[in-house]
Structure 1
Amino acid sequence: MYLSRIQINPARRGGRKLLGSPQAMHAAVLASFPQDDAERGRVLWRVDQDAHRSRLYVVSRPAPDFAHIVEQAGWQTTQDTWAVRPYGTLLDRLRPGQTWRFRLTANPSRTHEGKRLGHVTVSQQQEWFLSRTKGWGFTVPEHDGVPDVVVHDRRTDRFRRGAGTVTIAKASFDGVLNITDVDALRAALVAGLGPAKGYGCGLLTLAPQGRP
């Protein structure tokens, strides 16, 4: 398994296309692997954006080759175009009782009469997340009764697929977690959390306490 990071240049036309279209980004990510679906397995990705940079994170079984993304949408003049690291190093470090900072972009939603409906309020999205953490192998500590998680970057993506329109409610979650079940957390880190994994949801990343 590998955890990869690549910088996307929003000043370039190709960068704007990828950042503005989950379908285009999904296709670009999958094009980074020559393997067929069975050999490649599940690929998770997430875009983190702030005022200064846009980064694409990818978790995959085989190592990716992002040369085509750099050529069309990356920063060709910098050395730090992309980085690929073995994911097992992190997975092997996890132990019950450890505390980590986390980030997740997810599709908080429910199924009603066969249709997936997105949660739209902050309280709904936070409850969706907190009600599932035990199954994902961790808890979120509270301070004065308030969970240590912030819901931000809430948005709705809409795009055409075939003859229909796909609507995905997204929210990002930043906070602190305590590991309760290492095997469950490792499975969540590898397989992803929640629905819409093909469109930039479900990739949970961890960082040591104190590191941004």
Structure 2
Amino acid sequence: MTLDIWLTRIIPDPRHRDARRDIRSAVGLHHRIMMLFPDGLGSEARQQTGALFRLDETPHGHAVLVQSTIAPDATRLDPAYGQVQSKSLGPLLHKLEQGMRVQYRLTANATRKLGHNTTAGRPRQVVPLHGADAEDWWERQAATSGLTLSSVSSARLDDARGERASDKRSITHARTRFDGTALITDPDALITRLATGIGRGKAYGCGLLSIAPAR
């Protein structure tokens, strides 16, 4: 499969007011990330750019990973906002093959939709999953993403939250981080899911799957 994917790493400067605000708001961070791409893309701009992001906490502070199917333009971001580095994932994608062992990380909104006979909530209500239920969800998602999990550990993270400026609607997405190793069973399916993301809440910091050859 021929597809180029770009990975951008942003290290927000905690001294910058907008950077501090974006770290607290998944909606604000979404809008900041979309500034890396051309204007005039319409109401489906995120889908057109393939933009996904993940907010990671590191020993040195926060890091934002942004993935896209078009090259970002770092000059559209205030230089004082933070450090920005981009690279093509093409060399990695071309090496993916069946049977290859990889390390992965995914922060996702693991959910299930309640059935009509539920007693736990409203029929068709989408409810978050945690713990073993979330890991089972990820195992099913992995199977359709060209992966067979060899190991998995999960950690519940703070919800992704924010308020949409257009209608003042509050956004809340439960987040679980999954880490482990897996075997590639279908490289094309994996590349497709890498590009499109996994689960709900893709505009707000959920669904970005990262892989690397296992050591």
TM-score interval, smaller chain = 0.7 to 0.9
Shift of 1:208: 2.3
Q: In the alignment, which residue of structure 1 is the partner of 2:149?
A: 140
* 2:134 equivalent to 1:125: yes
Distance in structure 2 (CA, Å) of the matches to 1:136 and 1:183: 9
Percent of residue pairs identical:
30
Q: In the alignment, which residue of structure 2 is the partner of 1:53?
A: 61
Q: In the alignment, which residue of structure 2 is the partner of 1:116?
A: 126
Equivalent AA in structure 2 for residue 7 of structure 1: I
Distance in structure 2 (CA, Å) of the matches to 1:51 and 1:157: 21
Shift of 1:153: 4.5
What secondary structure does 2:141 align onto?
coil
TM-score (norm 2): 0.83
Q: In the alignment, which residue of structure 2 is the partner of 1:30?
A: 34
Distance in structure 2 (CA, Å) of the matches to 1:29 and 1:159: 15
Equivalent AA in structure 1 for residue 26 of structure 2: P
Shift of 1:25: 0.4
Shift of 1:21: 0.4
Match of 1:9 among 13, 16, 33: 13
TM-score (norm 1): 0.84
Unpaired segments ≥5 residues, structure 2: 115-122
Shift of 1:135: 0.3
Residues 66-124 of structure 1, C-alpha deviations (whole Å, 9 max, x = no match): 345453531xxxxxx222111222111100000011111100011233432211x3112
| Cα separation, partners in 2 of 1:66 and 1:115, compared to 1, 3 Å | farther
Unpaired segments ≥5 residues, structure 1: 75-80, 142-147
Distance in structure 2 (CA, Å) of the matches to 1:17 and 1:71: 16
Shift of 1:50: 2.0
Q: In the alignment, which residue of structure 1 is the partner of 2:90?
A: 88
Match of 2:153 among 123, 128, 150: 150
Distance in structure 1 (CA, Å) of the matches to 2:170 and 2:197: 24
Q: In the alignment, which residue of structure 2 is the partner of 1:41?
A: 49
Corresponding pairs, count: 197
Distance in structure 2 (CA, Å) of the matches to 1:206 and 1:14: 30
Answer whether contact 2:26 2:161 (CA < 8 A) is retained.
Answer: no
| Cα separation, partners in 2 of 1:71 and 1:204, compared to 1, 3 Å | same
Residues 184-209 of structure 1, C-alpha deviations (whole Å, 9 max, x = no match): 10101111111110001111111222
| Root-mean-square deviation over aligned CA pairs | 1.9
What secondary structure does 1:172 align onto?
strand
Equivalent AA in structure 2 for residue 54 of structure 1: H
Q: In the alignment, which residue of structure 2 is the partner of 1:73?
A: 81
Give the stretch that moved more between structures: 104-113 or 186-195. Answer: 104-113
What secondary structure does 2:29 align onto?
helix
What secondary structure does 1:139 align onto?
strand
Residues 32-86 of structure 1, C-alpha deviations (whole Å, 9 max, x = no match): 1015146843211111112313211111122112345453531xxxxxx222111
Equivalent AA in structure 2 for residue 83 of structure 1: Q
